[in-house]
Amino acid sequence: MLYHETIKVPEDRVGVIVGRNGKVRRRVEQLTNVKIDVNSEGVVTITAPQNTEDPVLAWKARDIIRAMARGFSPKNAFSLIDDDMQLLVISLREVVGSSQNQMKRVAGRIIGENGRTRRVIEQTTETKVSVYGKTISIIGMNPGLDYARRAIDMLISGAPHSAVYSRLERMRRDINRQRAELWEDTDL
């Protein structure tokens, strides 16, 4: 079966997806064994050959393109080639409604003053967060991805930043404890 998917991306992100002299697009093609066509209106077509050894690579190509379309740098988007990494996109329109002011307010809460809140979420959960347009996107692996999602959900629902920070700190301790237990299990 031939994999073929078309994705509409914001026109201002087309240049990022293509890269200088097509370098980024070619790199995605090399890593995922797909063919990518991008037009100037922001329509990206991903086609995987019929005899592909790993059909999952086509989905990885799709997620890498979606990540760049949602504001991530190519470097951060390419981390999705790792099997454990995932992309999560949260639509602000779905969670707060269609009010532009409400979406801007929530986006501002997630970014925080001088980007502090976003940075704290990223550092604590070992994820990358992008606030772009009407979406909040996260790249990471679990449990950090899940913890980042919970922190963002708290901010969306209006929780004070201090409550989110202390919750993140508890989550960080959980991650460290899980890692320690994992290493204890291997010290046999």
Topology, domain 3-81: Ribosomal Protein S8; Chain: A, domain 1 (3.30.1370)
Q: What is the mean pLDDT of residues 119-128?
A: 96
pLDDT at 186: 60
The arrangement of strands across the sheet holding 135-140 comes to: 86-91, 135-140, 128-132
Fold equal for 3-81 and 86-186: yes
The CATH homologous superfamily to which domain 86-186 belongs is K Homology domain, type 1 (3.30.1370.10)
Residue written as token pair 């922190």: 151
Q: Convert the pLDDT of each residue in 47-93 to its tens digit.
A: 988 776 777 888 999 999 999 999 999 999 999 999 999 999 999 99
pLDDT at 183: 72
pTM: 0.90
- Determine the distance from the C-alpha atom of residue 149 to the mean position of all C-alpha atoms in its chain, rounded to a whole number: 11
* Residues 13, 73 contacting (CB under 8 angstroms): no
Query: Domain-by-domain residue ranges, the chain?
Result: 3-81, 86-186
C-alpha to C-alpha distance for 186 and 188, rounded to whole angstroms: 6
